[in-house]
Amino acid sequence: MADLSVKIDKLALKNPVMTASGTFGNGVEFDDFFNVDELGGIILKGTTLNHREGNDYPRMAETPSGMLNAVGLQNKGVDYFCEHIYPKVKGYNTNVIVNVNGSTIEEYIALTERINELTNVDAIELNISCPNVKQGGMAFGTSCPMAEQVTKEVRKVYDKTLIVKLSPNVTNIAEIAKGVENKGADSVSLVNTFLGMAIDAETRKPMLSTVTGGLSGPAIKPIALRMVWQVAQAVKIPVIGIGGIMDATDAIEFILAGASAVQVGTANFVDPNASVKMIKGIEDYLERHNYSNINEITGGLQL
C-alpha cells in the first residue's frame, strides 16, 4: 500500500485528507458515521474570543453546484471551547486544529494565547478570510499589509504550527501568500468562501439575512484549483488546498496542482462519509498509477 503520510511543518499527517472549518462541527458529530481518527486532521469550527450568536436566519441558499452560507462564526467563545469542547476532542488520535478568528489583532492574539495552552491542539488555522462578519474577518485577508501584520503578531505568541487561511476574494492571492510566508506562517490553506449573493426573484428578497454570503462547493473548484496552483509556485511552505473537493479525484487534482494536503468542506454535508472515502480513493489512485508515496505526485502537474 502506498505511503499517504505528509508533513505540514511540524505536523505529521497520516494522510492528506483533513476536514474544513465550519463544515465538520467539532468532529464528534461524525462519530456515528466513521472513526474520525482515520483522517489526516480536523479543523474545528471557527472560534472567537467571545461568544457570538452569528447572523440571523436564513443563513444558507443553494446555488448551482454550490451553496452560500452566512453563519457568521456562531460559537460560544474560547472559554466555553476550552472547558467543554476541548475535553471531547483532545483524545482524538488525529491532528486537531483550531480555526482562530478575530475582529482586531488584539483579539487574534488573545485567542491564540488561550489555544496555545491546550497541549493536544497541534496547530491553529488563522482565519483572515471569513466573509460573513462585519468587522475584521475578510478585511484582514484581502489586504496584504493587514494579512502580514496579523500573521506577524500571532507568530510572536505561537510556536506550534501556524496555518494562515487565505481569502479568494483578491486580485493577487500569491502575493498575500508570499506576504504571510515572510511573516512566519508555516503553511497556507486556501480557499475560504467567495463572496456571493442569491436573490429570490418571486419575493424580490435576498436569500440570506445578510444579503451576501460565502460561496462553497464544486462551483468554485476551478478557481480554487487555479489559486492553489499559483500559490504553490509562489511559496516554499506547504499549501493546503480547499474548495469544492468532493471526491478523491478532486483531491488528486489539488495535490497535482501543488497542495500537500486538502480540506474537505461542503462535501461533508452532501455525504458525511466523503472525507474518509476520499482516503481510500487516493490510495486506489496511487496504486493504479504505481506510486508508492503520495509525495511523488505533489505538484506533479505535467506541463
Partner 1 sequence: MKKEVSNLLVTKNIALNHDNFLIELKADSPVEQILPGQFVNVKVEKSPNTFLRRPFSVHDTYPSTNSFSILVKAVGDGTEALSVIKEGQRLDVVFPLGNGFKLPSKGESILLIGGGVGIAPIMHLARISKEKGADVHILLGARTLNDHILIDEFKRYGTVHLTTDDGSLGTKGFVTNHPVIDGKIRFNRYQCCGPDPMMQAVARKAKQNETECEVSLENMMACGFGVCLCCVTKTNEGNKCVCTEGPVFNINNLEWQI
Ligand X SMILES: Cc1cc2nc3c(=O)[nH]c(=O)nc-3n(C[C@H](O)[C@H](O)[C@H](O)COP(=O)(O)O)c2cc1C
Contacts with ligand X by CB under 6 A lie at 20-23, 45-46, 69, 71, 73, 99, 127, 130, 165, 192-193, 216-217, 220, 242-245, 265-267
Can you give the binding site for partner 1, defined by CB under 8 A? 22-25, 29-30, 32-33, 45, 53-54, 56-67, 69, 71, 74, 217-218, 266, 268-273
User: CB of residue 274 vs partner 1: minimum separation in angstroms?
Assistant: 10
165 binds, among ligand X, its own copies, partner 1, none (CB under 5 to 8 A by kind): ligand X
Euclidean distance between CA atoms 198 and 221, whole angstroms: 19
Candidate residues 104, 156, 287, 300; the one interacting with its own copies per rule CB under 8 A: 300
Bridge partner list, 47 = 100
Asked if residues 166 and 177 have their Cβ atoms less than 8 Å apart, the reply is: yes
User: CB of residue 75 vs partner 1: minimum separation in angstroms?
Assistant: 9
Asked if residues 103 and 133 have their Cβ atoms less than 8 Å apart, the reply is: yes
Euclidean distance between CA atoms 185 and 126, whole angstroms: 9
Q: What is the residue-wise DSSP string for 123-169?
A: EEEEE---TT-SSSTHHHHS-HHHHHHHHHHHHHH--SEEEEEPPS-
Catalytic residue at 144?
Answer: no
102, amino acid identity: G
User: CB of residue 165 vs partner 1: minimum separation in angstroms?
Assistant: 18
Euclidean distance between CA atoms 290 and 191, whole angstroms: 30
Number of residues that bind its own copies (CB under 8 A): 46
Longest dimension (CA), the chain: 56
77 binds, among ligand X, partner 1, its own copies, none (CB under 5 to 8 A by kind): none
256 binds, among partner 1, its own copies, ligand X, none (CB under 5 to 8 A by kind): its own copies
φ/ψ (deg, to 5) at 202: -70, -45
- Which of 73-81, 113-121, 213-221, 272-280 is the region at the interface with its own copies (rule: CB under 8 A)? 213-221
Report the residue closest to ligand X, judged by CB. 22
Catalytic, out of 20, 68, 98, 130:
130
Instruction: Enumerate residues 6+ apart whose C-beta is below 8 A from 52.
Output: 72, 73, 74, 75, 77
Query: How many CA atoms does the CB half-sphere of 201 hold within 13 Å?
Result: 0
Asked if residues 107 and 97 have their Cβ atoms less than 8 Å apart, the reply is: no
Looking at beta carbons only, is 41 or 241 nearer to its own copies? 241
32 binds, among partner 1, its own copies, ligand X, none (CB under 5 to 8 A by kind): partner 1
Cell of 200: 429570490
Contact map string, positions 41 to 70, toward its own copies, x by CB under 8 A: ----------------------xxxx-x--
Binding site for its own copies (CB under 8 A): 63-66, 68, 142, 169-172, 194-199, 201, 203-206, 211-212, 215, 217-223, 225-226, 229, 244, 249, 252-253, 256-257, 285, 297, 300-303
Q: List the catalytic residues.
A: 130
